[in-house]
Amino acid sequence: MKIVVVGGGSAGWITASYIKNNLDCELTVISGDEKPIVGVGESTTPAILKMVTNLPSWKIDSCATLKLGIKFENWYRGDSVWYHLFEDAKKIDGIDSIEYLRNKYPNITSEEFNFFHGNFLFYCKNNVEKPFNNSIPGYGYHVQSDKLGFALKNSISDYKLYTQDVDHVILNEKGIDYLILNNGEKIYADIYFDCSGFKRKLIGEMTTWNSYDDMIANRYIVGKINKNNRPYTVSRALKNGWMWEIDTQNRTNAGFVYCSDIISDEQAMNESGLFYDSKKFDSGKMKDIAIKNCISNGLAQSFIEPLEATSAEFYQTVAKYAWDHIEFGASKKDVNNELRKEAKRIETFILWHYQNGSKFETPFWDYAKSLSFSVDDEFKEMLSFSRQHNQMELSKSEALYSQWAPLCFNNWDSV
Ligand SMILES: Cc1cc2nc3c(=O)[nH]c(=O)nc-3n(C[C@H](O)[C@H](O)[C@H](O)COP(=O)(O)OP(=O)(O)OC[C@H]3O[C@@H](n4cnc5c(N)ncnc54)[C@H](O)[C@@H]3O)c2cc1C
């Protein structure tokens, strides 16, 4: 079987490596030489470990640093600060997590240390064997997204790489007949993956993009700030948006997410102190992720603002469903339905954050709180479950709403 992946950003290489490692196929990757759009630090979830465990040098290659969770500042009421953890990490890289934290983060504040440590003790004390999902440890990594792509690229062999752009997509009744590169070469395949980012070069010819009309933020600005070394992502609410800080090995990246209807780019620069690059984004999704012989992944299939750093894990999920379709015949209808449901869960969880606003009473946060917010039965059940049980009971639950366990619901709900 011939598979083509168009796009050499992190989604392209996540897809290519997943497919090549799980499917007997002839793989071609076509990656224009344009730089990936978001070359800043990316925050991930524990699912990243499934992808990289067997790659000996991936941490160095992608400048990876430990991520135990997200520190939220200024969200909700008052000056609240809290940490949203994945779950307890008993061992990190095979080393006792307390020892690891002490050695690796000598400057961590006692408040931070106690929090992570306390969490560890909580699980030990209550004899909770494996709190949530058996296969997932309690930590992820921060990476540099472009470099993660290169690390994954180095993990596969026996594939063909073109560094040209796809100029034309020729369609037939089956979907894509062939691609024409900018050197005139024609490329044929059985399945075409579109990982061309916001350009949506292939899938855009076959189906339409639906913007989420309930998302407030539509622009971001990035920059570098003083180098820091923290085992968590920072998400700080500001007057007119929120800001992330991600420490990778060689630099600390920051970004500010805001709404261009409320402030200008210049105001965003002043508010955040970031001056590097300001860009528009459109939160939404393709009507179909898989259509005919084309499957999209990455920014080409959906984008939801980065508040919970859900993208990389979602790309892995898309690659897995695509594999189910190609290898085991799962129908495109089922694949689309399941992925749509998953995207909806992520959207709901993020909107929930906005519903509760921040400590600022500004037009941005007033607007955020007024956004339409309807939840599905699954969400209602998780919330009510998290309200009816104590922490220990919650920690034993294996239930998940997308990437979030009942304890996360409780965490947010009780702030
Ligand atoms: C503000 C913001 C913050 C984010 N934060 C996080 C985060 O914390 N955690 C997280 O997991 N994700 C995050 N993301 C998402 C993350 O940045 C993307 O996952 C990442 O950029 C990879 O996207 P991609 O590979 O789909 O697209 P891109 O990085 O845009 O790559 C597209 C690739 O397609 C190629 N291409 C385009 N057109 C053609 C063509 N015609 N022919 C051939 N090749 C072509 C380009 O050269 C490029 O290699 C964030 C995104 C944004 C916008």
Quote the tokens at residue 4.
Answer: 């083509």
Tell me the CA–centroid distance for residue 136 and ligand 1, in Å: 25
Q: Where are the alpha helices (DSSP H) in 63-191?
A: 97-104, 110-125, 145-153
Q: Which of 5, 6, 38 to mutate to test the pocket of ligand 1 (most atoms within 8 A of CB)?
A: 38
Kindly give the distance from the C-alpha atom of residue 179 to the centroid of ligand 1, in angstroms, as a whole number.
21
pLDDT for residue 34: 58
Domain 2-87+131-374: CATH superfamily, name plus number:
FAD/NAD(P)-binding domain (3.50.50.60)
Measured distance CA(338)–CA(341) in Å, rounded: 5
Q: How confident is the model at residue 128 (pLDDT cuts 50, 70, 90)?
A: very low
Percent of the chain with pLDDT over 90: 56
Mutation test residue for ligand 1: of 37, 146, 153, 402, the one with most atoms within 8 Å of CB: 37
The pLDDT of residue 129: 42
Do the bridges between strand 175-181 and strand 166-172 make them parallel or antiparallel, or are there none, so unpaired? antiparallel
Nearest atom in ligand 1 to the alpha carbon of residue 198 is: 30
Of 65, 141, 187, 196, the residue with max ligand 1 atoms within 8 A of its CB, to mutate for a pocket test, comes to 196
Radius of gyration of the chain (CA): 21
Question: What's the whole-model pTM score?
Answer: 0.90
**Residue position matching structure tokens 């071609």:** 28
What is residue 186's predicted lDDT score, i.e. its pLDDT? 98
Neighbours of 116 (CB within 10 A): 24
Atom 5 (ligand 1) nearest CA: 306
Of 13-22, 201-210, 396-405, which range is least confident? 396-405
Q: For residue 273, report the distance from its CA to the centre of ligand 1, in Å.
A: 24
222 CA: nearest ligand 1 atom: 1
User: What spacing in Å lies between the alpha carbon of 8 and ligand 1's midpoint?
Assistant: 9
Query: Across residues 267-286, what is the average pLDDT?
Result: 89
Q: Ligand 1 centroid to 299 CA: how many Å?
A: 6
Contact residues of ligand 1, CB 6 A cut-off: 6-12, 30-32, 34, 36-38, 42-44, 145, 165-166, 195-197, 199, 201, 220, 255, 281, 298-300, 306, 309, 311-312
Decide if 62 contacts 152 (C-beta within 8 A): no
92 pLDDT higher than 70? yes
How many angstroms separate the CA atoms of 306 and 331, rounded? 30
Residue pair 246/306 in contact by the 8 Å Cβ criterion: no
For ligand 1, atom 12, the nearest C-alpha belongs to: 311
Best of 42, 167, 220 to mutate for ligand 1, by most ligand atoms within 8 A of CB? 42
Interval between CA 58 and ligand 1 midpoint (Å): 19
> 103 C-alpha to center of ligand 1: Å?
34
CA angle, 397 then 302 then 55, to 5°: 65
Select the more confidently predicted residue: 296 or 229. 296
> Residue 174: its pLDDT value, please?
94
Domain spans, the chain: 2-87+131-374, 89-123, 375-415
pLDDT of residue 78: 67
User: Do the beta carbons of residue 371 and residue 325 sit within 8 Å?
Assistant: no
